[in-house]
């Protein structure tokens, strides 16, 4: 069998880097997209099946050029991991600046739509037709943290995007699913203070458990490896014991 072709956005760090490396190790050819070329090259680490394509997912022409490049190099796209994102400002809904709101939604939501649109157009035109899109949602797609209005709203909206893509892709054998990850060990968890004391709904701070980003990446690979006749529409993976279920 020929290697399957994947595009991973936000591949320069965190979950995106872990997923890209896991998929390369599993035999995929992987296009690494992100704004920082040096970080993408570090993720690729010289792997012969890695393609570094610096891309700002908020710029329509750059997204379209990304998918055109992948098709020129490898002939098709089988999977998109829509992962690029930004947490945005840690402020109340009462205090957020419009520019900060718009920038967070531009990356997390509009960028995801632009990448999904380009992927869908490629997948419906190729032979054999079809492919899979996996959106990186976040636990915040289900329950927000305090002072995270732009991020939480963008991730809630991403759930609607996931379901719409899966519905609209049916005639073309294109499926879409979402993974909501809670407290995997990445740079953003350090920014939130999860390891030293993250802000809770009651105003207190609590050290929260985390889990290895490699386990999150293995879970994305599991979703990606399914045959097109099967799809995981929604999957939640969290650190055991994190304050999400129940009363905290």
Q: Residue 192: what pLDDT?
A: 62
| Mean pLDDT within 65-88 | 96
According to the model, what pLDDT value does residue 1 have? 43
Contact call for residues 180 and 85 (beta carbons, < 8 A): no
Is the CB of residue 43 less than 8 Å from the CB of residue 20?
yes
Q: What is the rounded CA–CA span in Å between residue 178 and residue 16?
A: 14
Query: pTM (2 decimals)?
Result: 0.94
pLDDT at 67 over 70: yes
Quote the tokens at residue 26: 């599993």
Query: Using the 8-state DSSP alphabet, how is residue 109 labeled?
Result: I
Taking only the tens place, the pLDDT of each residue in 184-233 is 988 766 666 676 788 888 888 888 889 999 999 999 999 999 999 999 99
Considering only residues 243 and 226, tell me which one the structure prediction assigns the higher pLDDT.
226
Mean per-residue pLDDT for 48-67? 98
CA–CA distance from 132 to each of 77, 104, 154 (Å)?
A: 9, 25, 21
The confidence score (pLDDT) of residue 229 equals 96
With cut-offs at 50, 70 and 90, classify the pLDDT of residue 246: low
Interval 24-33: pLDDT, tens: 999 999 999 9
Residues classed as catalytic: 151
Q: Report the pLDDT value the prediction gives residue 193, as an integer from 0 to 100.
A: 64
Is the confidence at residue 247, as pLDDT, over 60?
no
Q: Are strands 79-82 and 5-9 parallel, antiparallel or unpaired?
A: parallel
Sign of CA pseudo-dihedral 230, 21, 135, 147: positive
**Calpha distance 139→151 (Å, rounded):** 11
- The whole-angstrom separation of Cα 7 and Cα 25 is 15
């Amino acid at each position: 069998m020929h290697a399957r072709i994947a595009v991973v956005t936000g591949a320069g760090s965190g979950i995106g880097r872990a997923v890209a490396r896991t998929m390369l190790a599993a035999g995929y050819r992987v296009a690494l997209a992100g704004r920082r070329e040096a970080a993408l090259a570090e993720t690729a680490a010289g792997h012969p099946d890695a393609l570094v394509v610096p891309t700002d997912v908020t710029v329509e022409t750059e997204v379209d050029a990304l998918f055109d490049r992948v098709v020129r190099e490898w002939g098709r796209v089988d999977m998109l991991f829509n992962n690029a994102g930004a947490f945005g400002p840690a402020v109340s809904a009462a205090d957020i600046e419009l520019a900060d709101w718009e920038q967070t939604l531009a990356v997390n939501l509009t960028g995801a739509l632009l990448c999904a649109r380009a992927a869908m157009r490629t997948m419906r035109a190729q032979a054999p037709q079809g492919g899979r899109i996996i959106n990186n949602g976040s636990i915040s797609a289900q329950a927000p943290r305090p002072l995270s209005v732009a991020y939480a709203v963008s991730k809630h909206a991403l759930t609607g995007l996931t379901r719409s893509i899966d519905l609209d892709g049916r005639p073309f054998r294109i499926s879409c699913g979402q993974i909501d990850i809670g407290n995997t060990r990445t740079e953003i968890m350090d920014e939130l203070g999860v390891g030293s004391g993250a802000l809770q709904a009651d105003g207190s701070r609590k050290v929260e458990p985390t889990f290895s980003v490699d386990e999150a990446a293995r879970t994305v690979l599991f979703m990606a490896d399914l045959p097109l006749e099967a799809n995981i529409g929604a999957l939640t993976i969290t650190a055991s014991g994190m304050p999400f279920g129940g009363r905290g």
